[in-house]
Chains A and B, each alone.
Chain A
């Protein structure tokens, strides 16, 4: 059957494992990189400085100001540039605060899954033998189970909250990290510097985390971008289905779910948060492509 070892993933050639010299010089003349880095920088700044940027309190309800349309519409209200939602909350402010939630989840879940996946991959790749077989079986099991269904079931059991979503996604998204780390470790283990480290009696954690890990970081950074985009979209889907981030937090997925009831009369309520999700996921995916391009010695 298709095991972890045969799943098609962008695997690095040997010389691609280490970022080549002059990375930043080339990155600064790479159009896709600059474009996506700009998108992500802007969204990060918006997330950090949300309290200063938001014109209103994102939680402040105003029944007299319900469902006001945004500025391109005839019946718009000057003080709410992007309109208001069904509880009269300022949509722009909620979108701005929503960036915080998406970024928190993207970073939190990715860090956690990186920790799990990289550790498993390093151990499997370094030891080989039955340890490798055991870990590969675990990876295959994880691949065979539907992420969103498991996430939904677990969240339904524990009860939904921001922390639960981060932990559940972190526990589910490590498969690519493990697959890529495992193969890259196998390649690097044959190198002289690993043998040298072993011969001079370096400790195992030293070999794994100080000798091997720094030398396989390039493909792992690319995997990290893929998983971040996944985490953002999965959080949105969970929140949309009602088992993710809970109201009144302004998560973009939750906003879509709340807007669903009035989408026939106020379609912008669907368009705006979805566009934010799209732009964030696009930025993350593009920077992943650019990094792959920049680290993969001229191919592709």
Chain B
């Protein structure tokens, strides 16, 4: 399944960079004459039939060659790898923040349903879902960067530069996690084995964390992987607001200069990361949940 999906994604990326957009025009640049474009088309072999070009494209992919940028003339892979750590760090901080809010509040909401804390969790979830994340970013810039002058608002030199972007992206990822944790905990707390454990007199704290949370957290792992994947996509907006020099910012810059090889490589990269993340989440789930392990065999 994963292999088929990767295959389809690479076809789409190929169409994006070679069929929908003429690569010869891209390499030649905006001022090129028709003869220049024709010459480049011949030299680079863009006049060959699409299937044979696609096979070359796949061959290059397999060797880790994602093409060369039209503008900087550098290998795209290098450009992406240079900036991947910034985006990875942003995603990591945002995810940590989202979980740090979602886990305790989601659990508390499930333990005491229909109280103030439950209302608060529902409000946070609904509000967090409705806030346009770039708007949240702008408000944070105005408030903390300009009015209070506490934090830097642009660039990626120090850890302090990651605080506002991580808050922005974290609010975007948090609501579904919190909903799932709350729903999962309510489900588990109402189950027979928890009632039995409670009847056996197991300490409430141990009961909540060791017995209930461990089971409720299983679907959260899958969702976290999915959310991490979405974050890589969402990073394009956040990074362009905060001028954070990651792959999202690179994608946006390439977009405004129609540097197609870079864009298709980033799409490909993010899809692959998403596929790998969901695979890892499944493995982790199988490791943590013995029922899944035996069901798979």
Contact = CB atoms under 8 A, between A and B. Distances in A.
Interface residues of B, number: 56
Interface in B129-153: 129-135, 138-139, 141-142, 146
B270 A146 contact: yes
A289 B123 CA distance: 12
B61 interface: no
A137 interface: yes
Contact of A149 (B129, B141, B236, B282): B236
A7 B240 CA distance: 29
B132 A278 contact: yes
Interface string B262-280: 0110110011001100110
B21 interface: yes
Contact of A153 (B139, B229, B255): B255
A300 B232 CA distance: 31
Given A157-B20, A264-B146, A2 B222 contact: yes
Nearest to A138: B8
A146 B20 CA distance: 18
Contacts of A281: 129-132
Contact of A148 (B222, B233, B263): B233
Contact of A141 (B8, B132, B237): B8
A153 B251 CA distance: 9
A282 interface: yes
A67 interface: no
Interface string B5-44: 1001100100010001100000000000000000000000
A2 B142 contact: no
B129 A137 contact: no
A242 B252 CA distance: 10
B135 A7 contact: no
A233 interface: yes
B222 A274 contact: no
A233 B132 CA distance: 6
Given A137-B8, A145-B267, A153-B255, A7 B226 contact: yes
Contacts of B8: 137-138, 141
B281 interface: yes
B183 interface: yes
B92 to A, nearest CB: 18
Interface in A107-161: 137-138, 140-141, 143-150, 152-154, 156-157
A256 B138 contact: yes
Given A141-B9, A146-B270, A156-B255, A285 B134 contact: no
Nearest to B182: A300
Interface in A255-292: 256, 260, 263-264, 267, 270-271, 274, 277-278, 281-282, 284-286, 289
Interface residues of A, number: 49
Nearest to B183: A300
Chain B at the A interface: mostly helix, strand, loop or mixed? helix
Q: Please indicate which of the listed interface residues A144, A148, A282, A286 has the most CB atoms of chain B within 10 Å of its own CB.
A: A144
B130 A282 contact: yes
B150 to A, nearest CB: 16
Given A274-B138, A281-B129, A153 B263 contact: yes
A69 B46 CA distance: 56
A3 interface: yes
Given A8-B219, A146-B233, A270 B267 contact: no
A242 B130 contact: no
Contact of B130 (A7, A229, A237, A270): A229
Contacts of B139: 270-271, 274
Contacts of A277: 132, 135
Nearest to B131: A278
Contacts of A289: 126
Contacts of A237: 132-134, 237
A174 interface: no
A96 interface: no
Contacts of B126: 282, 285-286, 289
B205 interface: no
A91 interface: no
A137 B4 contact: yes
A145 B223 CA distance: 16
Contacts of B256: 242
Interface in A210-266: 229, 233, 236-237, 240-243, 253, 256, 260, 263-264
A233 B275 CA distance: 25
A44 B240 CA distance: 32
Contacts of A203: none
B180 interface: yes
A6 interface: yes
B258 interface: yes
Given A2-B281, A146-B232, A149-B270, A270 B275 contact: no
Given A241-B237, A242-B256, 10 more contacts: A1-B275, A1-B282, A143-B274, A144-B229, A146-B270, A153-B267, A236-B134, A241-B255, A243-B255, A256-B134
25 contacts: A1-B5, A1-B282, A8-B180, A140-B1, A141-B5, A141-B9, A141-B12, A144-B229, A144-B271, A145-B9, A145-B267, A146-B230, A152-B255, A153-B16, A157-B20, A157-B21, A233-B132, A233-B133, A237-B133, A241-B240, A243-B255, A274-B132, A274-B135, A277-B135, A282-B127
